[in-house]
Amino acid sequence: MTTTLESLVAQMTVAELAQRSGRSISDLIELVLSQSGGAPAARAATNGHRRGKPGRKPAAAAPAPSAGRKKGAQTRTQAGRATYDESVLAAVKSSKGKVKAEDLRKKIGGTPPQLRAALARLIESGSVKSAGKARGTTYSAA
């Protein structure tokens, strides 16, 4: 039973896990990192790219994405933006040092524009610091 559950969870993104569990993304990240010490379980829970590999079954009863839309976090509402910002801040804090935007997106999901907007809001609020330019920009907790 545990292996079946683990394989199902390994196929889901963090956003899908949060939606199905009723918890925030930052709560899930903190839970996984605290239980595994940031080990392979944390990577397995956040690797959405594992979908579609031969021999894996798709998650049952997953809602179908809208045709022609990119998959991203739900940030159209103020509450959605706040939840996504919390998850970005938790991921930056859990990195214990400098982290690139690409690595953050791999951990928490979302589109590049969503992540840039969240990081801009967190920098403006003073929660996150940035250093560097373009692809070389790194982020750390303030």
The CB-side HSE value for 19 (13 A sphere, CA atoms) comes to 12
> 3.40.50.720, 2.30.42.10, 1.10.10.10, 3.40.720.10: which CATH number matches 2-50+73-141?
1.10.10.10
Return the bridge partners of 75, or none: none
The amino acid that residue 127 corresponds to is: S
pTM of structure:
0.49
Distance (Å, rounded) from C-alpha 40 to C-alpha 21?
21
Distance (Å, rounded) from C-alpha 129 to C-alpha 67?
37
Instruction: Note the pLDDT of residue 139.
Output: 95
Residue ranges of domains in the chain: 2-50+73-141
Q: What is the pLDDT of residues 31-55, one digit of tens each?
A: 766 765 554 444 444 444 445 555 6
Residue whose tokens read 């996984």? 32
Lowest mean pLDDT among 5-9, 10-14, 54-58, 127-131: 54-58
Instruction: Note the pLDDT of residue 13.
Output: 76
The amino acid that residue 38 corresponds to is: G
Distance (Å, rounded) from C-alpha 30 to C-alpha 21?
14
pLDDT at 142 over 50: yes
